[in-house]
Amino acid sequence: MSGEKNPMERAQALSRPQLPKRFYKEVRVEEDDNGFCIKLDARVLKTPGRQTLKLPSESLARLIADEWDAQAVEVNPASMPVTRLANTAIDGVELVKTEVAEGIAAYACSDLVCYRAESPEGLVAQQRETWDPLIAWFAEVHGMPLRLAEGVMPVGQDDTKADAIGVQLRELSALELAALHTLTTLSGSAVIALAVHGGQIDPDAAWKAAHVDEDWQISQWGEDAEATARRAARKREFDAATKVLSALSASVSA
Protein backbone atom coordinates (compact mmCIF):
# COMPACT_ATOMS: atom_id res chain seq x y z
CA MET A 1 0.00 0.00 0.00
CA SER A 2 1.33 3.44 -0.90
CA GLY A 3 2.70 5.37 2.05
CA GLU A 4 2.83 2.33 4.33
CA LYS A 5 6.09 1.78 6.22
CA ASN A 6 8.23 -1.10 5.03
CA PRO A 7 8.96 -3.94 7.53
CA MET A 8 12.36 -2.52 8.54
CA GLU A 9 10.90 0.93 9.24
CA ARG A 10 8.14 -0.67 11.34
CA ALA A 11 10.72 -2.71 13.25
CA GLN A 12 12.83 0.38 13.91
CA ALA A 13 9.78 2.29 15.14
CA LEU A 14 8.86 -0.56 17.51
CA SER A 15 12.41 -0.70 18.89
CA ARG A 16 12.52 2.98 19.82
CA PRO A 17 11.95 3.70 23.52
CA GLN A 18 8.57 5.16 24.36
CA LEU A 19 9.04 8.80 25.28
CA PRO A 20 6.87 10.30 28.03
CA LYS A 21 4.25 12.81 27.01
CA ARG A 22 4.64 16.42 28.08
CA PHE A 23 2.71 16.55 31.36
CA TYR A 24 3.14 20.22 32.27
CA LYS A 25 1.95 23.55 30.91
CA GLU A 26 4.28 26.10 32.51
CA VAL A 27 8.04 26.11 33.13
CA ARG A 28 9.53 28.69 35.45
CA VAL A 29 12.69 29.36 37.46
CA GLU A 30 12.44 30.01 41.19
CA GLU A 31 15.10 31.16 43.66
CA ASP A 32 15.52 30.26 47.32
CA ASP A 33 18.36 30.52 49.85
CA ASN A 34 20.16 27.55 48.27
CA GLY A 35 20.07 28.57 44.63
CA PHE A 36 17.73 28.23 41.68
CA CYS A 37 15.35 25.43 40.78
CA ILE A 38 12.99 24.74 37.88
CA LYS A 39 9.29 24.15 38.37
CA LEU A 40 7.07 22.30 35.92
CA ASP A 41 3.72 23.74 36.96
CA ALA A 42 3.82 23.09 40.76
CA ARG A 43 6.31 20.23 40.52
CA VAL A 44 9.99 20.87 41.32
CA LEU A 45 12.25 19.32 38.69
CA LYS A 46 14.39 16.48 40.03
CA THR A 47 17.31 14.50 38.69
CA PRO A 48 16.98 10.81 37.75
CA GLY A 49 18.50 10.13 41.19
CA ARG A 50 15.52 11.97 42.73
CA GLN A 51 17.55 14.95 43.93
CA THR A 52 16.24 18.44 43.40
CA LEU A 53 17.89 19.96 40.34
CA LYS A 54 19.39 22.90 42.21
CA LEU A 55 21.58 25.33 40.25
CA PRO A 56 23.94 28.04 41.51
CA SER A 57 23.23 30.36 38.60
CA GLU A 58 19.98 31.86 37.34
CA SER A 59 21.31 31.88 33.77
CA LEU A 60 22.11 28.16 33.98
CA ALA A 61 18.69 27.42 35.45
CA ARG A 62 17.09 29.31 32.57
CA LEU A 63 19.08 27.29 30.02
CA ILE A 64 17.55 24.15 31.51
CA ALA A 65 14.10 25.70 31.80
CA ASP A 66 14.24 26.65 28.12
CA GLU A 67 15.04 23.06 27.17
CA TRP A 68 11.99 21.79 29.07
CA ASP A 69 9.80 24.55 27.68
CA ALA A 70 10.86 23.63 24.13
CA GLN A 71 9.49 20.10 24.46
CA ALA A 72 6.34 19.70 22.40
CA VAL A 73 4.17 16.59 22.60
CA GLU A 74 6.85 14.29 24.02
CA VAL A 75 9.73 14.88 26.44
CA ASN A 76 12.91 13.78 24.67
CA PRO A 77 16.06 13.76 26.87
CA ALA A 78 18.23 13.58 23.74
CA SER A 79 17.18 17.13 22.91
CA MET A 80 18.14 18.47 26.37
CA PRO A 81 21.95 18.32 26.63
CA VAL A 82 22.26 20.97 29.37
CA THR A 83 19.72 19.14 31.52
CA ARG A 84 21.54 15.84 31.03
CA LEU A 85 24.88 17.39 31.91
CA ALA A 86 23.45 18.94 35.10
CA ASN A 87 21.89 15.59 36.07
CA THR A 88 25.25 13.88 35.57
CA ALA A 89 27.00 16.48 37.70
CA ILE A 90 24.54 16.26 40.59
CA ASP A 91 23.90 12.51 40.62
CA GLY A 92 27.34 11.30 39.55
CA VAL A 93 30.26 13.70 39.38
CA GLU A 94 29.60 15.11 42.84
CA LEU A 95 30.40 11.65 44.24
CA VAL A 96 33.61 11.10 42.24
CA LYS A 97 35.09 14.57 41.78
CA THR A 98 38.66 13.43 42.40
CA GLU A 99 38.47 10.72 39.75
CA VAL A 100 36.90 13.04 37.19
CA ALA A 101 39.50 15.75 37.85
CA GLU A 102 42.33 13.25 37.49
CA GLY A 103 40.77 11.87 34.31
CA ILE A 104 40.70 15.31 32.70
CA ALA A 105 44.32 15.99 33.66
CA ALA A 106 45.40 12.58 32.34
CA TYR A 107 44.31 13.60 28.85
CA ALA A 108 47.22 16.05 28.80
CA CYS A 109 49.57 13.06 28.70
CA SER A 110 48.15 11.91 25.35
CA ASP A 111 46.68 15.19 24.14
CA LEU A 112 45.48 15.70 20.59
CA VAL A 113 47.54 18.86 20.16
CA CYS A 114 50.81 16.98 20.76
CA TYR A 115 50.46 14.67 17.76
CA ARG A 116 51.49 16.30 14.52
CA ALA A 117 51.31 15.22 10.91
CA GLU A 118 54.54 14.70 9.00
CA SER A 119 52.87 15.88 5.79
CA PRO A 120 51.35 17.48 3.76
CA GLU A 121 52.82 20.87 4.54
CA GLY A 122 49.44 22.60 4.51
CA LEU A 123 48.15 20.40 7.33
CA VAL A 124 51.44 20.68 9.22
CA ALA A 125 51.21 24.46 9.04
CA GLN A 126 47.57 24.50 10.11
CA GLN A 127 48.31 22.34 13.15
CA ARG A 128 51.26 24.53 14.09
CA GLU A 129 49.30 27.77 13.69
CA THR A 130 46.29 26.53 15.66
CA TRP A 131 47.85 24.40 18.37
CA ASP A 132 51.21 25.98 19.21
CA PRO A 133 49.68 29.06 20.93
CA LEU A 134 47.48 26.75 23.03
CA ILE A 135 50.46 24.65 24.08
CA ALA A 136 52.39 27.79 25.05
CA TRP A 137 49.42 29.06 27.09
CA PHE A 138 49.01 25.67 28.78
CA ALA A 139 52.67 25.58 29.79
CA GLU A 140 52.52 29.10 31.20
CA VAL A 141 49.24 28.84 33.07
CA HIS A 142 49.26 25.18 34.16
CA GLY A 143 53.01 24.67 34.43
CA MET A 144 53.17 21.67 32.11
CA PRO A 145 55.29 21.99 28.96
CA LEU A 146 54.24 19.39 26.39
CA ARG A 147 56.45 17.32 24.11
CA LEU A 148 55.41 16.97 20.48
CA ALA A 149 55.52 13.90 18.26
CA GLU A 150 55.05 13.24 14.57
CA GLY A 151 52.59 10.51 13.69
CA VAL A 152 50.73 8.38 16.21
CA MET A 153 53.57 6.87 18.25
CA PRO A 154 53.13 7.76 21.95
CA VAL A 155 55.32 10.46 23.42
CA GLY A 156 56.08 10.65 27.14
CA GLN A 157 54.83 13.60 29.18
CA ASP A 158 55.46 14.71 32.76
CA ASP A 159 53.01 12.64 34.83
CA THR A 160 53.90 14.55 37.98
CA LYS A 161 52.82 17.85 36.46
CA ALA A 162 49.64 16.24 35.13
CA ASP A 163 48.89 14.96 38.64
CA ALA A 164 49.35 18.51 39.97
CA ILE A 165 46.79 19.78 37.46
CA GLY A 166 44.40 17.07 38.66
CA VAL A 167 44.79 18.32 42.22
CA GLN A 168 43.96 21.86 41.09
CA LEU A 169 40.88 20.69 39.20
CA ARG A 170 39.45 18.99 42.29
CA GLU A 171 38.63 22.46 43.61
CA LEU A 172 36.11 23.02 40.81
CA SER A 173 32.42 22.37 41.28
CA ALA A 174 30.82 19.17 40.02
CA LEU A 175 29.06 21.19 37.30
CA GLU A 176 32.34 22.69 36.10
CA LEU A 177 34.01 19.29 36.11
CA ALA A 178 31.16 17.67 34.22
CA ALA A 179 31.31 20.38 31.56
CA LEU A 180 35.12 20.24 31.37
CA HIS A 181 35.09 16.45 31.07
CA THR A 182 32.61 16.71 28.20
CA LEU A 183 34.79 19.24 26.38
CA THR A 184 37.89 17.13 26.99
CA THR A 185 36.48 13.86 25.72
CA LEU A 186 34.75 15.42 22.71
CA SER A 187 37.87 17.31 21.66
CA GLY A 188 40.41 14.69 22.73
CA SER A 189 42.30 17.51 24.42
CA ALA A 190 42.61 18.72 27.99
CA VAL A 191 44.54 21.68 26.59
CA ILE A 192 41.61 22.82 24.43
CA ALA A 193 39.06 22.20 27.20
CA LEU A 194 41.04 24.11 29.81
CA ALA A 195 41.67 26.94 27.34
CA VAL A 196 37.90 27.34 27.00
CA HIS A 197 37.49 27.25 30.78
CA GLY A 198 40.28 29.81 31.18
CA GLY A 199 38.84 32.19 28.60
CA GLN A 200 41.87 31.76 26.33
CA ILE A 201 39.80 30.59 23.37
CA ASP A 202 36.13 30.98 22.46
CA PRO A 203 33.93 27.90 21.93
CA ASP A 204 33.79 28.12 18.12
CA ALA A 205 37.55 28.46 17.86
CA ALA A 206 37.95 25.57 20.30
CA TRP A 207 35.71 23.34 18.18
CA LYS A 208 37.74 24.21 15.09
CA ALA A 209 40.98 23.54 16.97
CA ALA A 210 39.70 20.08 17.87
CA HIS A 211 38.95 19.31 14.21
CA VAL A 212 41.99 20.58 12.34
CA ASP A 213 42.80 17.11 11.01
CA GLU A 214 39.19 16.23 10.18
CA ASP A 215 38.55 19.53 8.43
CA TRP A 216 41.70 19.09 6.38
CA GLN A 217 40.50 15.68 5.22
CA ILE A 218 37.10 17.11 4.34
CA SER A 219 38.74 19.86 2.31
CA GLN A 220 40.61 17.22 0.33
CA TRP A 221 38.05 14.44 -0.02
CA GLY A 222 34.65 15.92 0.77
CA GLU A 223 32.12 15.17 3.51
CA ASP A 224 30.45 11.92 4.45
CA ALA A 225 26.78 12.30 5.39
CA GLU A 226 26.87 9.92 8.36
CA ALA A 227 30.08 11.43 9.70
CA THR A 228 28.57 14.90 9.34
CA ALA A 229 25.50 13.84 11.35
CA ARG A 230 27.68 12.35 14.11
CA ARG A 231 29.76 15.50 14.23
CA ALA A 232 26.64 17.66 14.52
CA ALA A 233 25.46 15.57 17.48
CA ARG A 234 28.85 15.97 19.19
CA LYS A 235 28.76 19.70 18.50
CA ARG A 236 25.45 20.01 20.36
CA GLU A 237 26.99 18.34 23.41
CA PHE A 238 30.09 20.52 23.11
CA ASP A 239 28.01 23.68 22.88
CA ALA A 240 25.93 22.65 25.90
CA ALA A 241 29.09 22.21 27.98
CA THR A 242 30.44 25.62 26.95
CA LYS A 243 27.11 27.22 27.84
CA VAL A 244 27.29 25.67 31.31
CA LEU A 245 30.79 27.00 31.86
CA SER A 246 29.77 30.44 30.60
CA ALA A 247 26.74 30.57 32.88
CA LEU A 248 28.81 29.51 35.89
CA SER A 249 31.52 32.04 35.08
CA ALA A 250 28.97 34.82 34.75
CA SER A 251 27.50 33.99 38.18
CA VAL A 252 30.94 34.17 39.81
CA SER A 253 31.83 37.50 38.22
CA ALA A 254 28.42 39.08 38.90
* pLDDT average, residue stretch 191-195: 98
Of 175, 180, 149, which is closest to residue 165 (Cα–Cα)? 180
CATH 3.40.50.300 fits 15-91, yes or no: no
Domain boundaries, the chain: 15-91, 95-253
52 φ/ψ angles, rounded to the nearest 5 degrees: -65, 135
* pLDDT average, residue stretch 233-242: 97
pLDDT at position 13 is 58
pLDDT mean across residues, the chain: 93
* pLDDT average, residue stretch 61-90: 96
Q: One fold for both 15-91 and 95-253?
A: no
Predicted confidence band of residue 1 (pLDDT cuts 50, 70, 90): very low
Predicted confidence band of residue 10 (pLDDT cuts 50, 70, 90): low
Quick check: bond before 56 cis, omega within 30? Answer: no
Class of domain 95-253 (CATH, top level): mainly alpha
Task: Convert 102-131 to b/e letters by CB count within 10 Å (16 or more is b).
Answer: bbbbbbbbebbbbbbbeeeeebeebbeebb
DSSP string for 219-242: HHH---HHHHHHHHHHHHHHHHHH
117 versus 151: the higher-pLDDT residue is 117
Q: Pairing relation of β-strands 27-32 and 35-40? A: antiparallel
